[in-house]
Each structure stands twice: as structure tokens, then as C-alpha cells.
Structure 1
Amino acid sequence: MKAKKLNISFLKSGSGSLNSRIMLPITWVRDLGFSQEEREVYIYHLGDEIVIRKTPLVFDKKEAAKIAFEEVEQVISIKEYIEYVEIIEIIRAIIESYFFNIEEKQKNNKIISVISVLRDSFIDKKYEFVIDNNKQYFFDKKKYKFKTVEELENYFQEEENKEIKE
């Protein structure tokens, strides 16, 4: 792995908005196969990294689940729970943002495959879920011991009402 410490340039446009630019060493750019004729680049923001690629990421359910897990953990850290439908929306957004050229009819199959990996990693980690006929929630099992969806919803509704009163 090669490493180099660089600075980011910040530029103001004519309208006053801020843009940024990083100048990459030309040898690295050539090593990746870029030229003045072949300039198309795929850039990904993965967790705390920015990845630059000549070719798009190929769909990998484990990689998609890893990205989704990080985003779901952020939601849980703020709200302390997440509903299953929110997880599906996160996964859909990841598939649309990170993996190009996936046809619409394939997206649902990809979402299902990511959910299965994600659900397994949730159960292996520190999260538990409650489910009924209509809803499913994931939450921190060290912090809470909900047995039903109704219990979880009532608890967080009461907490929300306390905050409103204060």
C-alpha cells in the first residue's frame, strides 16, 4: 500500500458555495488506468474512507450488509431502536448508491439477500428484535428487554411524552 499526506484545496464558486479538490500524484492516477481519454471514475464514501475506482463495485451482499450495518447502528445510537422497514430503505439506498447497473427487478432480490446477512450479524452482535404481524424492531439487548412490539412502542412513546413535558 502506498501512502501520501496531501492537503485539500477549498474553493469558492461564483455563487459563494464551497467546493473541494485533492490533487493526486499522476503516477497513481496512471497506475489505476486513468488517462485524458479515460477519465470516468467511481468514488465511494465507505464508513470513514473514500475509495476511488476505475470500475464500479460489483454487488457483494456481505459488503452491502457491512455498509448497512454501520448506517443502522448510527440510527440505533440516536433513536435507540430501528424499524425493519427503515432497514429496508437503508439497504435500498445503499444498493442504488454503491452498486451501479443493477436492474430494478434484481434490486428486491439483492435487498432480501442483504437482509439475511444483516439480520444474522444483528443477532450475533448486541441487538435483539421483537416482531408481530405488522412490525419488527431491532434494539440494544444490553439496554432493553422488550418482549413485544407493543412494549417497545409504549416505552418510547412514554419517553417522547416526558421530553415534550420538560
Structure 2
Amino acid sequence: MKVKKLNISFLKSGSGSLNTRIVLPITWVRELGLSQDEREVYLYKIGEEIVIRKIPRIFDKKEAARIAFDEVKKIISIKEYIEHREIIEILKTIIESYFIGIKEKERNNKVVSLITVLRDSFLDKKYEFVIDNNKQYFFDKKKYKFKTVKELRDYFKIKRV
């Protein structure tokens, strides 16, 4: 891995809004296969990183699950729990944002397969879930010992929808 410390330029437009620019080393740009004729790139914000790619990402279940797991962990660290449907929305967003050209039916299949991978990851880690006929919540099993959705809802004062 190569590292270079750079500064971002902040520019004010005529309307007063801020824009940013960063100058990349020409050797890195050439190594990516970019030129004045081929200058289209794909930018991805993954956690604390910004990734620049010449070609879009191809769907990778492990990578998508890793990104989703990091997002879900972040939410659980703030809220202490997460609802199953929130996880599905995160998965849909990840698939739409990071993996270009996936049709709706294919995306739904990928969401289903990812939720299985994610659930297995949760159970291998420090998360547990409670489920009833309508809702499923994941939470930190080292902090909490909920046996039912009602216990979790009562503890966090979650209103039924």
C-alpha cells in the first residue's frame, strides 16, 4: 500500500456553496489506467475510507456482508439494538450504492442471501436476536439478556407500530 499525505482545497462557488478538490499524484492516476481520454471513476465511501476505482465493483457477498456488518455494528453501538427491517434497508442501500447494474429481482435475491450471512456473523460475534411473529431485533448479548421482543421493547420503550 502506498500512502501520501495531501491537502484538500475548499473553494467557494459564485452562489456561496463550498466545493472541494484534491490533487492526486499523476503516477497513481496512470497506474489506475486513467488519462485525459479515459477519466471516469467510481467513488465509494466505506466506513472511514474513500475508494477510487476505474471500474465499478462487482457484487461480492463477503464484501457486502462486511460493509453491512460494520454499518449495523455502528447503529447498535448508538441505539443498542437494530430491527431486522432496518438491516434489510441497509443491505438494499449497500447493494445499490456499491455494486452497480444489479436488477431489482437479483437485488432482492442478494438481500435474502446476505441477511443469512449477516445473521450467522451476528451469532458468531457478540450479538443475539429476539423474534416474534412480526418483528426481529438484534442486540449486544453481553449487555442484555432479552428473551422476547416484548422485553426488549419495554426496556427501550419502543412503541408498537
TM > 0.5 fold call: yes
Give, in whole Å, the separation in 1 of the partners of 2:94 and 2:88.
10
Give, in whole Å, the separation in 2 of the partners of 1:47 and 1:14.
32
Question: C-alpha displacement at 1:2, in angstroms?
Answer: 2.1
- Map Cα deviations across residues 136-159 of structure 1 (whole Å, 9 max, x no partner): 00001011100001111111118x
The count of aligned residue pairs is 159
Give, in whole Å, the separation in 1 of the partners of 2:79 and 2:126.
16
Partner of 2:105: 105
RMSD: 1.3
Give, in whole Å, the separation in 1 of the partners of 2:14 and 2:22.
20
| 2:15 maps to 1:15 | yes
1:76-155 to 2 correspondences below 5 Å: 76-155=76-155
Alignment-mate amino acid for residue 47 of structure 1: G
Alignment-mate amino acid for residue 89 of structure 2: E
Question: C-alpha displacement at 1:12, in angstroms?
Answer: 1.0
Moved over 3 A (4+): none
Give, in whole Å, the separation in 2 of the partners of 1:128 and 1:102.
31
Q: Percent identity?
A: 75
Q: Report the TM-score when normalising by structure 2.
A: 0.95
Structure 2: runs of 5 or more not aligned: none
Structure 1: runs of 5 or more not aligned: 161-166
Partner of 2:63: 63
